[in-house]
């Protein structure tokens, strides 16, 4: 059956198209993004391709792709820019990439709260060691079946789907990152079960199958903090230049601020 999913996967890959060109959110957005990102951060991306549209529709989320920021990777560069991201692409498998790759895309930084330095290193190494793995096309197909609003319960759908190919050499973007955090037992969206006894009640977390994760789960997770580059660098709304204000007012205000 594996050859069939490979053929289907190649057909799916043909649906991909380059992201539509758009201007960065702010003039210095790449610099702000570069200065803000830290190893262990998850970078969510709003893709523009056909497959991205399907993922966003099925997950009801803005985000269709995710990458892990690990910092500069020795010996890798594109046009002199070091690769700092690890990601799994539908047409390449697990690869490293420069930050500028997503300069013209809407992005969001999700940061694991209080992740220790040692565990952060383990998370980054886990992802880096998987560069070269193939893309799990069957996992994508299974996710579509799992997320599509069939007239059955999610539990019923989960029981009828063998998620992923079962091939350790294949993976998708969100599963790669989920596995990396699972390696240090850092929670994303675990299943919480309440256990009651005669003396106390406690909550027990159960790790979800990595194949069930989608990019938007990192945004929804109560254990990841959304970090906005435009705010971490310092923001003063008085410095905004508004089109409906006369230029003399803007210049006067700028001079006043410099005094």
Range scoring the smallest mean pLDDT among 105-109, 125-129, 216-220, 249-253: 249-253
Whole-angstrom distance, CA of residue 102 vs CA of residue 19? 9
Asked if 164 and 175 touch (Cβ cutoff 8 Å), the reply is yes
Per the CATH hierarchy, to which homologous superfamily does domain 2-258 belong?
endopeptidase domain like (from Nostoc punctiforme) (3.90.1720.10)
Q: pLDDT, tens digit, for every residue of 2-42?
A: 555 555 555 555 555 554 455 555 667 788 899 999 999 99
Name the token pair of 25: 């959110």
Q: Using alpha carbons, select from 113, 109, 69 the residue that is nearest to residue 228.
A: 109
Whole-angstrom distance, CA of residue 68 vs CA of residue 76? 16
Determine the Cα angle at 71 with ends 113 and 137, to 5°.
Answer: 85
- The pLDDT of residue 194 is 66
Q: What is the full DSSP assignment across 87-156?
A: EEETTTEEEEE-GGGGTTS-EEEEEETT--HHHHHHHHHHHHTTTTPEE-HHHHHHHHHHHS--SS-HHH
Q: pLDDT, tens digit, for every residue of 160-178?
A: 444 444 444 446 678 899 9
Percent of the chain with pLDDT over 70: 59
Name the token pair of 70: 């690990």
Q: Using alpha carbons, select from 86, 98, 168 the residue that is nearest to residue 123.
A: 86
- The structure's pTM equals 0.74
DSSP state of 161: -
Name the token pair of 67: 């990458």
The ranges assigned to domains in the chain are: 2-258
- The pLDDT of residue 196 is 63
Q: Does the pLDDT at position 97 exceed 70?
A: yes
Terminal CA-to-CA distance of the chain, rounded, Å?
72
């Amino acid at each position: 059956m594996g050859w069939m999913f490979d053929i289907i996967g190649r057909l799916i890959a043909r649906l991909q198209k380059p992201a539509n060109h758009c201007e960065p959110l702010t003039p210095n957005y790449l610099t702000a993004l570069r200065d803000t990102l830290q190893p262990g951060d998850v970078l969510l991306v709003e893709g523009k391709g056909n497959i991205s549209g399907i993922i966003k529709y099925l997950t009801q989320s803005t985000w269709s792709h995710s990458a892990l920021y690990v910092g500069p990777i020795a010996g890798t560069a594109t046009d002199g820019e070091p690769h700092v991201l690890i990601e799994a692409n539908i047409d390449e498998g697990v690869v490293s990439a420069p930050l500028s790759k997503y300069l013209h895309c809407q992005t969001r930084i999700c940061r694991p709260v209080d992740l220790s330095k040692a565990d952060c290193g383990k998370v980054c190494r886990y992802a880096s060691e998987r560069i070269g793995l193939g893309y799990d096309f069957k996992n994508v197909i299974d996710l579509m079946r799992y997320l599509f609003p069939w007239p059955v319960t999610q539990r019923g759908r989960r029981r009828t789907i063998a998620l992923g190919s079962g091939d350790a050499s294949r993976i998708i973007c969100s599963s790669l990152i989920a596995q990396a955090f699972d390696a240090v037992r850092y929670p994303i969206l675990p299943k919480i079960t309440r256990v009651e006894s005669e003396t106390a009640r406690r909550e027990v977390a159960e790790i979800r199958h990595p194949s069930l994760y989608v990019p938007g789960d990192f945004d929804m997770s109560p254990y990841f903090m959304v970090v906005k580059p435009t705010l971490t660098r310092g923001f003063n709304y008085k410095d905004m230049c508004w089109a409906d204000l006369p230029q003399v007012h803007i210049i006067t205000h700028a001079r006043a601020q410099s005094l």
